[in-house]
Structure 1
């Protein structure tokens, strides 16, 4: 299992969602690949929904332009 820290890199304001740089979540994946690009980023989106109540996919910012992934484990 690989552990990733996903962090927002840019601000976003729209449709009653406010994202600030530095918001982060941790996700574990069975493979050491960027979880933003796997399965449509489902693990990352679920983690942001659980921690912050923010649906990144609905806002259209579930991509590498707004998020960075660093493997920490």
Structure 2
């Protein structure tokens, strides 16, 4: 399993929520986190638990707003 760091690339505001550059989480996955739907759901759940933002509801659960780096 590889470890990935997902980081917000740009400021955005939608659905009464705000994301800022630098907000990041880490996840272990066998698949790239944004392109694999079940893993993308896990990413969204971690962002909700950590920062209180629902990236899916905001329409920002994609590579336009998120940078994915493999770290392990």
Give the TM-score taking structure 2 as reference length.
0.91
What is the CA–CA distance in structure 1 between the aligned matches of 2:8 and 2:61, rounded to whole Å? Answer: 10
Q: Which residue of 2 aligns with 1:14?
A: 14
Query: Would you say how many aligned residue pairs link Structure 1 and Structure 2?
Result: 71
What is the CA–CA distance in structure 2 between the aligned matches of 1:53 and 1:14, rounded to whole Å? Answer: 13
> What is the RMSD computed on CA atoms of the aligned residues?
1.1
What is the CA–CA distance in structure 2 between the aligned matches of 1:65 and 1:46, rounded to whole Å? Answer: 19
1:16-55 matched pairs, under 5 angstroms: 16-29=16-29, 31=30, 33-39=31-37, 41-55=40-54
What is the CA–CA distance in structure 2 between the aligned matches of 1:9 and 1:67, rounded to whole Å? Answer: 5
Structure 2 contact 15–57 (Cα < 8 Å) conserved = no
